[in-house]
Amino acid sequence: MSVWAGRRVVLGVSGGIACYKSCTLARRLTEAGAQVDVVLTQAAAEFIRPPTFEALTGRPVLGSLWEPGGALSHVRLGHAADLVIVAPATAHLVARLAQGLADDLLTTLLLAATAPVLLAPAMNDEMYAHPQTRANLERLAARGIALVGPEVGALAEGPSERPGRMSEPEIIMAHAARCLRGTAGPLRGRRVVVTAGPTRESIDPVRVVTNRSSGKMGYRVAEAAWERGADVVLITGPVALPAPVGVRVMRVETTTELEAAVREALPAADVLVMAAAPADFRPSDPSDSKRARHDGALAVPMEPTVDILSATRSERRAGSVIVGFALETGDAMAKGRAKLERKDLDLIVVNDALEPGAGFDVETNRVALLDREGTARILPLQSKRQVAEGILDAVERILGR
């Protein structure tokens, strides 16, 4: 089930040109299952008329304490909300909030709100750089208000090399999900290291040996762990996926580079999720020059690469949770159990590449989770994101033991 299903979100919109993007944000939140109450400042209502937001959210839009339904709506909405997002948060809104002013419905509601608050500032770059704005934002951050952006990029008045532009709706949604979920739970503040994707090994300067791993499973785990409040490092082989929001990404190419990155990250890791599919073999003597086709048949002698999970065992932090994967073709459970023991893992995610909907380069997966205690949990066929949540639930159970 989506993190947004049944959640009550107040989306405050203050008056800046970036509020055209708030329409998309309101729509995305609604589509994801949230109940979205939009509150407009007077200036915001000059940019976007209330019926636009009403059509996008299917709910009445509030703008004033004095209109029908407005009386006490600040208290009602403020108390009922699971999350308050203000996007865009203009320099003026930020200043009013930092001072604790309550001179309209949105600022009054923000004082009455008990839920987490996320601001997406957007303003002219000079206004953002102004010491007063900086001080206001610092004060709000010190009060526990979460901030996303602003980013560098085009502003209404032209391109800018300095921040001012409101973050895109997808980025605001990712931060909002972390505000909703990441305030409690065993992964909050923990360092989670995730590996993802294939590695590739050179045959010659233009040819490589690799495998079919798409990296999707690892990327979904990294994304979900960050949403749960973890500090996430994603070590990734070459894949065609966008970096997950909030996650520190390290790129590697070969199994040796992956091993070095894991070795470096492991001593600080509370959790390692080894979802990568490192190349198990590499050409033992890669050629320095391109081998021509007319030279005839090519035999490439291969040597095994290092088993990273086993080789880095001594770098593991005491009490850390180590998760491996086993993609098998037949007899998966028994092979998975043997791998868990051989690699000294706390949890292994087992799947069978021959099953429809499971394995490489598909959106779904059907896995079983085996732990050290001998417990086996079989998850249904579901999206890789849902599988990622199932894996992290199991990790949290182990952390909580």
211 an active-site residue? yes
Identify the CA nearest to 288 among candidates 200, 203, 201: 203
Does position 278 interact with ligand CTP (CB under 6 A)? The reply is yes
CA Rg value for the chain: 25
Does position 203 interact with ligand CTP (CB under 6 A)? The reply is no
Binders of ligand CTP among residues 79 to 138 (CB under 6 A) are: none
Single residue of 169, 182, 197, 324 touching ligand CTP by CB under 6 A: 324
Contact stretch for ligand CTP (CB under 6 A) within 60-68, 165-173, 272-280, 354-362: 272-280
Does position 308 interact with ligand CTP (CB under 6 A)? The reply is yes
**Is the Cβ–Cβ distance between 97 and 134 less than 8 Å?**
no
**Is the Cβ–Cβ distance between 344 and 329 less than 8 Å?**
no
Single residue of 86, 106, 176, 309 touching ligand CTP by CB under 6 A: 309
Identify the CA nearest to 223 among candidates 112, 387, 59, 96: 387
Contact stretch for ligand CTP (CB under 6 A) within 23-31, 135-143, 159-167, 303-311: 303-311
Size of the site for ligand CTP (CB under 6 A): 15
Does position 269 interact with ligand CTP (CB under 6 A)? The reply is no
Identify the CA nearest to 309 among candidates 265, 344, 260: 344
Give the type of residue at 123.
M
Does position 307 interact with ligand CTP (CB under 6 A)? The reply is yes
Single residue of 255, 351, 365, 386 touching ligand CTP by CB under 6 A: 255
- How far apart, in whole angstroms, are the C-alpha atoms of residue 119 and residue 235? 30
**Considering beta carbons, is residue 47 or 219 the nearer one to ligand CTP?**
219
**Is the Cβ–Cβ distance between 119 and 45 less than 8 Å?**
no
Single residue of 14, 136, 305, 320 touching ligand CTP by CB under 6 A: 305
**Considering beta carbons, is residue 253 or 307 the nearer one to ligand CTP?**
307
Query: Hey, how many other C-beta atoms are within 10 angstroms of the C-beta on 118?
Result: 22
**Considering beta carbons, is residue 61 or 276 the nearer one to ligand CTP?**
276
Q: From the CB of 147, what's the least distance to ligand CTP, in Å?
A: 36
First to last CA, the chain: 26
**Is the Cβ–Cβ distance between 167 and 85 less than 8 Å?**
no
In three-state form (DSSP H/G/I as H, E/B as E, the rest C), the secondary structure along 152-186 is ECCECCECCCCEEECCCHHHHHHHHHHHHHCCCCC
Single residue of 122, 274, 370, 388 touching ligand CTP by CB under 6 A: 274
Single residue of 54, 257, 280, 355 touching ligand CTP by CB under 6 A: 280
Positions marked catalytic: 211
Contact residues: ligand CTP, CB under 6 A: 255, 274, 276, 278, 280, 305-309, 324-327, 339
